[in-house]
Amino acid sequence: MRRYDDIYKIVGTLTNNIFLVDSGDELVVIDPGMPFDHRILADRIRSLGRSPCEISEVLLTHFHVDHSGSTAAVQGISRAKTWCHSADAPYVEGTEDIPSVYKAGISGNFLFLFQGIVEDVCDYPPARVHYPFEDGEILPVLGGLKVFHAPGHTPGSACYLWLDRGVLFSGDAVVNQYLFPTLSEVGYCWDFGLAGRSAAGLIDALEHEDVRIVCTGHGPVITERAKERLLKMRDRLRKRGRA
Ligand SMILES: [Fe+2]
C-alpha cells in the first residue's frame, strides 16, 4: 500500500487500483475492486488502526467488475453510501444487462470471453447505488468532489476532482499502466471513439482547475507535472484524430 498525503493506493487482483482516503471524519473508498478484493481492503484499513465498518462512502468510477465488484461486500460490513453516475448505476444494481462492451476486433472478442469467465467465476452480487449523480455535480464528500462525466470506456464513466487537494480520480477514462496517461485499450471500451473525445473534453475542462495529482484506474499515481502530462495526452489524442 502506498501513501500520497491522505490517500492510500491498494493494488487489487487485476492490477486495478483501489483508493482509500482517510480524512479522519470520513473513510472513503474509490473503486473497491474485484469481488474478493474487499478482504485486501479490510486488511489495509485495519493496518491503519481503523475498522472496515467505518467506511463511510464508496465512490465508483464505473461499473466494471475490477472496480465495482466488491461494492456489495463493503456494504455488507459497513454503512457505506454508494455513489455512481446514473448511466452506470443500473449495471451496478443488476437491473440491466451489461452493454456490449469489449466487442472491438479479435482482442475485443478475447477480452469479452475473459471478462465472461471472470464474472462467472466471481459471481458477484449486485449492489445498491444510493446516490446516482450527473455531470457537473459537486458531491458532499471530502469537502466537495466535482464530477466530470467522461463516457466511452463505459456509458457512465466518471472522474472525481477533490477540490480542496487538487486530486483527480480518473477511473479508466485515463489510465497510466504504460507510465504515461492514455486511454484504456480499445477492447475494454464500450465506445472507444467516444472515450477519446470525452478524455479530451475532460482535460479541456481541467485546464483551469487545480490538478496536482492524478489517481488512475490502473498504473502508478501521477504526482509530477500532472496537469502538463494530461495536456500532452490531449494533444496526442487530437494529433491522432481521436478527439
Ligand atoms: Fe474498466
CA of 157 to the centre of ligand 1 (A): 9
Q: Compute, in angstroms, the gap from residue 9 CA to the centroid of ligand 1.
A: 17
Q: Which residues surround ligand 1, an ion (CB under 5 A)?
A: 64, 172
CA–centroid distance, residue 30 to ligand 1 (Å): 13
Q: How far is the CA of 16 from the centre of ligand 1 (A)?
A: 9
Question: Domains plus CATH for the chain?
Answer: 2-239 (3.60.15.10)
Distance in Å, CA 194 to ligand 1 centroid: 15
Contact 195, 173 (CB under 8 A): yes
Give me ligand 1 centre to Cα 49, in Å: 31
The pTM score is: 0.93
Of 148, 151, 178, the residue nearest 163 (C-alpha): 148
Q: How far is the CA of 64 from the centre of ligand 1 (A)?
A: 5
Q: How far is the CA of 63 from the centre of ligand 1 (A)?
A: 7
CA of 51 to the centre of ligand 1 (A): 28
Low-confidence ranges of the chain (pLDDT < 50): none
Q: What is the pLDDT of residue 104?
A: 52
The CA-CA-CA angle for residues 197, 84, 107, to 5°, reads: 50
For ligand 1, the distance from its centroid to the CA atom of residue 188, given in whole angstroms, is: 7
Asked if residue 73 lies in contact with residue 38, where contact means CB atoms within 8 angstroms, the answer is yes
